Amino acid sequence: MEKNALKPFSVRWLTRTALLLAVTLVFQMFGFPQMVTGPAVNAMLMISGIYVGPLGGIIIGLLTPWIAFMRGTLAPPLAPMIPFIMLGNAVIVILWVLFRVLIKNVYIGSIAGMVIGAVAKFLILSTAVRLIVSVPPPIAQAMQIPQLYTALLGGVIALVVDRLISVAFRNYNED
């Protein structure tokens, strides 16, 4: 378990998970293009994995596509992709946290988890649009290589944010 993660279903865990979900949804609701929203959401999934553990990150990753669809920020032609987006989100969180825990150097583990998680999410989504679901060509394109880029960029953002939070709290605790 991550050093900063909380015990699942405690009041603190529920509160943090709800706050992280709310921040993630705010990024989705702005209506920015995929190359802005995607990295922000992926970063929030990974940050959630750090601060509320894999279960919290997975829950956020399962809820965000449904909520975005219900609110109209996820276009109706993407509806058949929702289960695969949910799966991709869960897999990226699991691999991110797993490699951070398995590899003793947190930065090497983070980079490994980020890259392997991003590739896995990309493979899930691109395989879905190629072999399983039928979506319009622009949707199919958006579910392929851009997903790899947004997941990798989200991982970089998550690394930077985690580092900034660690430094801020280290300095705060020294006062």
Tell me the per-residue pLDDT of 110-140, one tens digit each, with 9 for 90 and over: 999 999 999 999 999 999 999 999 999 999 9
Of 48 and 171, the one with more pLDDT: 48
Class of the domain covering 11-174: mainly alpha
Binning pLDDT at 50, 70 and 90, where does residue 107 land? confident
Q: What is the DSSP letter of 77?
A: G
Cβ atoms of 154 and 38 within 8 Å: the answer is yes
- Give the number of other Cβ atoms within 10 Å of residue 148's Cβ: 17
Distance CA 68, CA 65 (A): 5
How confident is the model at residue 140, as a pLDDT?
A: 92
Distance CA 109, CA 125 (A): 24
pLDDT above 50 (res 68): yes
Of the candidates 52, 39, 9, which has an alpha carbon nearest to the alpha carbon of residue 156?
39
Cβ atoms of 137 and 25 within 8 Å: the answer is no
Cβ atoms of 83 and 48 within 8 Å: the answer is no
Quick one: average pLDDT of 57-81?
Answer: 92
pTM above 0.75, yes or no: yes
Of the candidates 34, 30, 52, 51, which has an alpha carbon nearest to the alpha carbon of residue 153?
34
